[in-house]
Amino acid sequence: MAIVQHTPALDHTNSPPDAPRWECRVYPGQLSQTSRVRADLAVDLDRMTNFPVEAREDMVLCLSEMFANACEHSRSGQDPDGRVVRTLDLPRPGAVRISIIDDGTRTNTSDSSPRVPRRRTRREWDQAERGRGLLLLGHLATRWGFRPVLDFPFCAGLGTVIWAEFTHPALTTLSAGGNSCGGVR
């Protein structure tokens, strides 16, 4: 089994100002919050009509991996007050995007950014206990990528945005409603 290196998608852009989006959700940077993160995404996705069950399951699984990476590889999980922000939006018809924003580079290491694992042999994969999260993301999401929160040289390490986009023809409408916590705006 060989791994193809991830090439960041160059066409990631912010959603248009009038694009449907949900309120940001902020979580403590603790792995114990993963079930809450998953449940909140499921509630938010319930606001969409015609949402395919398989796409929902893929998104929830990918979000779990993204959240775990933020807790494991950033200050979000190192600092007692660390936090992780989740966003959800519809960047264009037929697409839904989830993003995780972490608190930046850990202070106890020079670089702990999530990386696509190095090439491994089948035997190494059989024995590996970790390192498959971004591979899973690359397999399930239509597109994914990451970028610094602020793309200025003196702001390196302030945080990373990792995003995953899922496309499906049925993902074009939202159900009515919403509220101040996780509602559609």
Dump pLDDT digits (tens) for 44-74: 988 887 778 889 999 999 999 999 999 998 8
180 inside domain: no
Measuring CA to CA, which residue among 152, 150, 158, 59 is closest to residue 102? 158
Which pLDDT belongs to residue 6? 45
Q: What is the pLDDT of residue 36?
A: 98
- Give yes or no for residue 112 having a pLDDT over 70: no
39 by DSSP, 3-state: which? Answer: helix
> Does any domain span residue 83?
yes
Question: In terms of Cα–Cα distance, which of 90, 103, 32, 21 is closest to 64?
Answer: 32
Q: Which residue has the higher pLDDT, 23 or 168?
A: 23
Residue 59 belongs to a domain: yes
pLDDT classification of 152: cutoffs 50, 70, 90: confident
Q: Give the domain range for residue 110.
A: 25-167
* CATH number of the structural domain spanning residue 122: 3.30.565.10
- 64 inside domain: yes
The residue with tokens 């959700």 is 25
How far is residue 2's CA from residue 121's CA, in Å, rounded to a whole number?
7
Residue 176 lies in a domain: no
d(CA 101, CA 85): 5
pLDDT of residue 4: 41
Q: Would 19 be classed as within a structural domain?
A: no
Query: pLDDT value at position 104?
Result: 86
Residue 137 in any domain: the answer is yes
| pTM of the complete model | 0.76
| Sequence-separated (6 or more) residues with CB below 8 Å from residue 122 | 1
Q: Between 68 and 9, where is the model more confident?
A: 68
Average pLDDT in the chain? 78
Pick 119 or 85 by higher pLDDT: 85
Nearest to 139 by CA among 40, 61, 35: 61
Give the span between the Cα atoms of 79 and 83, in whole angstroms: 9
Kindly state the average pLDDT of the residues 86-109: 88
Structure-model confidence comparison of residues 94 and 81, the more confident one = 81
If one compares 71 and 8, the residue with the highest pLDDT of the two is: 71
Would you say residue 17 lies in a domain?
no
Mean pLDDT along residues 106-131: 66
Q: How many residues does the chain have?
A: 185
pLDDT value at 153 more than 80: no
pLDDT at 115: 52
- Residue 16, pLDDT score: 57
Q: How many structural domains are present in the chain?
A: 1
